[in-house]
Amino acid sequence: MNAEDVVAAPTHPAPTDQGGEDDPWTVGGVELRSRVLIGTSRYPSLQSLLDSVKASGAEVATVSVRRADLGGEKQSLLRALRDDAERAGRALHVLPNTAGCYTAREAVLTAQLAREALETDWVKLEVIGDDETLYPDAVQTLKAAADLVADGFEVFAYCGDDPVTARRLADLGCAAVMPLAAPIGSGMGLVNPYVLRIIRETLPDVPLVVDAGLGTASDAARAMELGYDGVLLNTAVSGAEHPALMAAAVGHAVAAGRLARRAGRIPRRLYAQASTPGAGRIDVPAVDE
């Protein structure tokens, strides 16, 4: 299947009520209509990336930033993303991330370099604590978050599925808290929806984004049904057999999941409950054999 065969998700996800009104959300001081945040790593080609960003309807694209990435190929990538969005009349905000950092000091320095190079106060804070699982280091993440917030950054903080760490990041003033669904790149989906639900209920007014470990569109829909404000995906799209097609599926799934959350699902019941009322039933006498 070619990119042109993809039926793309709308640039602005489906309306959230029958009146057709938009359902924007605000994060980092910016109002967004799309609830998909998309990564830009490991795509089979630049065109595949551009097609996927467009198909997802994303208005935020994350870009890893290291000292060696601030010119050359990275600048070409950013230019291509921005030019493509401009040609299509779409908004696109770049969210630099501190992927590959293992200490708070390293993450803060990386964020400061990104701010100078990309002229943005946004940063996705990622401080890894373990090479095997790529789980975030909660202690170093909290330290870096405090320093970056004090330095005027809008911090999108990646963390484990831990309600305590999530609450502390929110208390520090992070623009968004981004708990993982599963280890980075695993595609395992929401392995602990119970805890993700607790985080949502604990932080009802904080922008929350499920980040890492999603594998397919249904995972994204489920995250939205839990009440999350958005999802961030990279490998689920870039590693798909047809990335742009998966990106389109995710865009539609996120819109559907958001609609379902706002609609309010029926409660789960242990036993059946007839949908047809019993009143007016025909009473047929029993016939003896």
Q: What is the pLDDT of residues 225-257, one digit of tens each?
A: 999 999 999 999 999 999 999 999 999 999 999
Lowest model confidence (mean pLDDT) among 4-18, 31-45, 63-77, 140-154:
4-18
pLDDT at residue 34, as a whole number:
95
The yes-or-no answer on residue 124 being catalytic is: yes
Q: Mean pLDDT throughout 27-42? A: 95
Question: What proportion of the chain, given as a percentage, has pLDDT over 70?
Answer: 88
pLDDT at residue 160, as a whole number:
95
pLDDT at residue 251, as a whole number:
96
Catalytic: which of 54, 74, 124, 143?
A: 124
Strand ranges across the sheet with 230-233 = 176-179, 154-159, 122-125, 93-97, 60-64, 36-39, 230-233, 209-211
235 is in an annotated binding site: yes
129 is in an annotated binding site: no
**Cα(244)–Cα(225) distance, integer angstroms:** 23
Q: Mean pLDDT throughout 103-110? A: 96
pLDDT at residue 1, as a whole number:
47
pTM of the predicted protein model: 0.87
Q: Are 167 and 203 in contact (CB under 8 A)?
A: yes
pLDDT at residue 74, as a whole number:
59
Q: Beta partners for 156?
A: 124, 176
pLDDT at residue 53, as a whole number:
96
- Would the pLDDT of 50 be above 50? yes
213 is in an annotated binding site: yes
Enumerate the H helices of 151-232 as residue ranges: 163-172, 193-202, 217-225
- Would the pLDDT of 69 be above 60? no
pLDDT at residue 275, as a whole number:
79
Pairing relationship of beta strands 176-179 and 154-159 according to DSSP bridges:
parallel
- Would the pLDDT of 212 be above 80? yes
